[in-house]
Amino acid sequence: MNVLASGFHRASQNQGTLESARNKVRHLLHQRSSDLFPYGHAGTPIIEMAEQLLRSDNIIASSWLICMRCKNENDRAIDLQTCVIQCLDDSACTTAACLQKKLINQHPSRRCANCDSAVNQITKFEVIPKIIVFAINHDSVKVSRKICFNNEETRVIFGLKGIVYTGDFHYTARVCVDGNVWFHDGMVTGKICKYEDKLSAFTDSNLSTCNGKTLSLVVYAQK
Ligand SMILES: [Zn+2]
């Protein structure tokens, strides 16, 4: 992600192009896995790409199980090193609800080793990331324009920054800047984004689809 961000910064200073920033990242990803990230016209799975770009060397969040009755904790913690949250269960209905379910949710099958009661899976951020990305494969998931949660004493607020849509082997995007929504389809408008409307004019559900394409990634940044 640093490579991409510094490439974008150079482009903003007229010291490079967005394409050269993209090509550098593409080359690095291809070196990591030539199967997942091939050169040429073969497609790249965008969720895998987001996972790779937003991977950290540090632990971002930890997950563990806690009994709802006796509060016995399972010490088998799972550490997460990516800012990508998989939202693959359509019952979560909104991205905000998907994050809530990730932070605390009843485990579907595990029971407490102590008293055989149901257990909750808890996830806690070790470091609050600046960016959170949701990977989604259901168009029934609605896009929250804002996501808030409490981390210990602090209230953390994330604002919607962009949405990537997929369909017919092609990705398009909506980009949110200062409360305005811009649409981008590289095959139609090239480098140009088309102004759509104020973000406040969109409902959660009409952000879920875009010209017949469905949600793939939803990107938030800390306010
Ligand atoms: Zn128990």
Distance CA 67, CA 54 (A): 32
Identify whether the C-beta of residue 170 lies closer than 8 Å to the C-beta of residue 187: yes
Tokens of 111: 């029971």
In angstroms, what is the span from residue 98 Cα to ligand 1's centroid? 26
Going from N- to C-terminal start, the domains of the chain cover 1-44, 45-57+81-101+128-222
* Nearest alpha carbon to residue 150 among 114, 174, 175, 124: 124
Q: Which residues surround ligand 1, an ion (CB under 5 A)?
A: 67, 69-70, 72, 112, 114-115, 117
Label residue 169 left, alpha or beta by phi (over 0 means left) and psi (-120 to 50 means alpha): left
Distance CA 215, CA 186 (A): 17
**Block residue for tokens 């896009």:** 143
Quick one: CA dihedral 3, 181, 103, 88, positive or negative?
Answer: negative
In angstroms, what is the span from residue 170 Cα to ligand 1's centroid? 48
In angstroms, what is the span from residue 66 Cα to ligand 1's centroid? 8
Distance CA 134, CA 161 (A): 12
In angstroms, what is the span from residue 120 Cα to ligand 1's centroid? 11
**pLDDT digits (tens), the chain, 223 positions:** 788 888 888 888 888 888 888 888 888 888 888 877 777 666 667 788 888 888 888 888 888 999 999 999 986 677 888 888 888 766 658 999 989 888 888 888 899 999 999 999 988 888 888 999 999 877 788 999 999 988 777 889 999 999 999 888 888 999 999 999 999 998 888 888 999 999 999 988 789 889 889 889 999 999 8
* Nearest alpha carbon to residue 84 among 219, 206, 195, 222: 219
What architecture is the 45-57+81-101+128-222 domain classified under in CATH? Alpha-Beta Complex (3.90)
Q: Which class for 58: exposed (0-12), middle (13-18), buried (19 or more C-beta within 10 A)?
A: exposed
* The residue type at 171: Y
In angstroms, what is the span from residue 109 Cα to ligand 1's centroid? 14
In angstroms, what is the span from residue 64 Cα to ligand 1's centroid? 14
Distance CA 15, CA 90 (A): 44
**What's the Cα-to-Cα distance from 80 to each of 25, 34, 77, 114, rounded to whole Å?**
23, 24, 10, 26
Partners of 80 in the beta sheet? 61
Tokens of 90: 């359509």
